[in-house]
């Protein structure tokens, strides 16, 4: 059986994701689609709208055959580490190819970009340091350094100001770094860009736009045109059970406590917290009545919104620099759900897997997995805090079978 791998968050699964799944399978002539999906906390440093189990059900109902969890160590990391963890897992699952959505839509410019940066790597790093020293943010410095390199050769390159292009580049770089056999394919992103608001004339909207609409309108009916019926049903079930969809505003009282309980010097032990920001974090946690007000207080040119949210995620979950940076690649495959076809793929290929397949966490003692479990428990605690209702944890929930 031929497998195509995809890297997802499904926050929530929408019509654009359905297009990506079906196109990935069609273009690669794959028998099964395997998704590596982030758990309770995501790459932009925020909690997922609903649990990973609800999002797994959305995926399985819409063409995905296997869902495995991207460990917290990688799901909350910067783009290079996020990509390395995900592509390493897909290769370990014996996927023949991985397919990613992009603004570019063609694979050749991605390969040209990778070769350009590799060929001029020392110069590229020197330019990044030069731009950072002028006070420009690190992501912007990367972009300016790349634009400078592009002037050297006249080929077709990708636009590295586009979020999906950035991730696509890092997926390819990850496969090259570890000399993996898995091959890249890209799917043209259609109708809605990453940060776009919803367009009433279209049935495809970005996950960002859908979440914005959901929170602003306060009803799932506001997004019904942009998601499959199965997603709508899962969101309706969550709302009925837990009252509120998850965001940092819902978790703010607990996050505020997590910040204020430490001395400034203690905060710097947490992953991604750089020296100097700790005083601002405590000061504005004391003063702010909600998360939005808090972020407005700590936001500056030096720190992007995403970087700040990643810091807060690690403070909230209690993950230190020492814990986070001890790992380089995933050490297991955590199964979240499967269809009958996905189960057949596992039966055929699992003896070839280079990592242990974990379906029951109680049987595993892996230290990276223990971080995943802790993150899930903290997420569940936040949900219980605002809804007064418990959410099933990793020890209670077996892989979902569709």
What residues contact 127, with CB distance under 8 A and at least 6 apart?
141, 144, 145, 148, 149
Q: Is 10 annotated as a binding-site member?
A: yes
Name which of 300, 309, 361 is nearest 136 in CA terms.
Answer: 300
Q: Is 7 annotated as a binding-site member?
A: yes
Is residue 36 a contact partner of residue 75, using CB atoms and an 8 Å limit?
A: no
Name which of 235, 269, 89 is nearest 171 in CA terms.
Answer: 89
Q: Is 157 annotated as a binding-site member?
A: no
- Element containing residue 145 per DSSP (H, E): helix 138-150
Q: How far apart are CA 339 and CA 251, in angstroms?
A: 33
Q: Is 20 annotated as a binding-site member?
A: yes
What are the tokens at 315? Answer: 């403070």
Name which of 266, 380, 279 is nearest 315 in CA terms.
Answer: 266
Compute the C-alpha angle 110/112/114, nearest 5°: 70
Q: Is 8 annotated as a binding-site member?
A: yes
Q: Is 165 annotated as a binding-site member?
A: no
Q: How far apart are CA 267 and CA 241, in angstroms?
A: 35
Q: Is 15 annotated as a binding-site member?
A: yes
Q: Is 318 annotated as a binding-site member?
A: no
Give exposure, 59-69, as e/b (b: 16+ Cβ within 10 Å).
bbbbbbbbbbb
Name which of 65, 85, 95 is nearest 182 in CA terms.
Answer: 95
Determine the straight-line distance between the first and last CA of the chain, rounded to whole angstroms. 19
What are the tokens at 163? Answer: 């979020």
Q: Could you identify the residue written with the tokens 């790992």?
A: 327
What residues contact 396, with CB distance under 8 A and at least 6 apart?
none
Q: Is 193 annotated as a binding-site member?
A: no
Is residue 107 a contact partner of residue 184, using CB atoms and an 8 Å limit?
A: yes
Q: Is 138 annotated as a binding-site member?
A: no
Say if strands 66-70 and 333-338 run parallel, antiparallel, or are unpaired: antiparallel
Q: Is 265 annotated as a binding-site member?
A: no
Name which of 298, 333, 377, 389 is nearest 94 in CA terms.
Answer: 333
Computed on alpha carbons and rounded to an integer, the radius of gyration of the chain in Å comes to: 21
Q: Is 18 annotated as a binding-site member?
A: yes
Q: Is 72 annotated as a binding-site member?
A: no
Is residue 103 a contact partner of residue 24, using CB atoms and an 8 Å limit?
A: no
Residue ranges for the known binding site for ATP are 7-20, 101, 164, 189
Residue ranges for the known binding site are 7-20, 101, 164, 189
């Amino acid at each position: 059986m031929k497998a195509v791998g995809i890297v997802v968050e499904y926050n929530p699964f929408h019509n654009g994701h359905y297009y990506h799944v079906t196109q990935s399978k069609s273009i690669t002539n794959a028998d099964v689609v395997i998704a590596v999906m982030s758990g309770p906390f995501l790459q932009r440093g925020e909690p997922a709208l609903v649990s990973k189990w609800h999002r797994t059900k959305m995926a399985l109902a819409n063409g995905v055959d296997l869902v495995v969890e991207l460990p917290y160590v990688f799901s909350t990391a910067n783009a290079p580490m996020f990509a390395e963890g995900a592509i390493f897992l897909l290769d370990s699952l014996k996927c023949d190819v991985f397919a990613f959505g992009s603004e570019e839509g063609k694979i050749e410019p991605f390969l040209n970009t990778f070769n350009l940066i590799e060929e001029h790597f020392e110069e590229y790093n020197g330019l990044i340091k030069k731009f950072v020293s002028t006070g420009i943010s690190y992501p912007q410095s990367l972009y300016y350094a790349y634009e400078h390199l592009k002037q050297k050769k006249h080929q077709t390159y990708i636009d590295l100001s586009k979020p999906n292009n950035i991730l696509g580049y890092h997926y390819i770089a990850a496969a090259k770094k570890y000399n993996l056999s898995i091959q890249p394919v890209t799917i043209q992103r259609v109708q809605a860009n990453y940060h776009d608001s919803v367009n009433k004339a279209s049935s495809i909207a970005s996950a960002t736009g859908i979440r914005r609409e959901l929170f602003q309108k306060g009803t799932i009916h506001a997004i019904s045109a942009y998601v499959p019926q199965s997603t709508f049903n899962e969101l309706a079930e969550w709302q009925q059970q837990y009252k509120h969809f998850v965001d940092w505003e819902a978790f703010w009282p607990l996050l505020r406590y997590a910040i204020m309980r430490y001395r400034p010097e203690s905060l710097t032990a947490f992953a991604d917290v750089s020296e100097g920001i700790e005083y601002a974090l405590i000061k504005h946690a004391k003063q702010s009545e909600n998360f939005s007000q808090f972020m407005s207080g700590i936001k500056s040119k030096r720190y992007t919104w995403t970087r700040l949210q990643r810091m807060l995620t690690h403070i909230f979950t209690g993950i230190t620099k020492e814990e986070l940076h001890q790992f380089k690649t995933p050490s297991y495959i955590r199964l979240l759900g499967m269809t009958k076809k996905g189960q057949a793929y596992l039966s055929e290929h699992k003896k070839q897997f280079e990592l242990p397949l974990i379906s029951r966490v109680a049987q595993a003692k892996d230290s990276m997995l223990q971080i995943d479990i802790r993150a899930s428990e903290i997420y569940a605690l936040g949900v219980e805090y605002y809804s007064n209702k418990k959410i099933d944890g990793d020890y209670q929930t077996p892989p979902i079978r569709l």
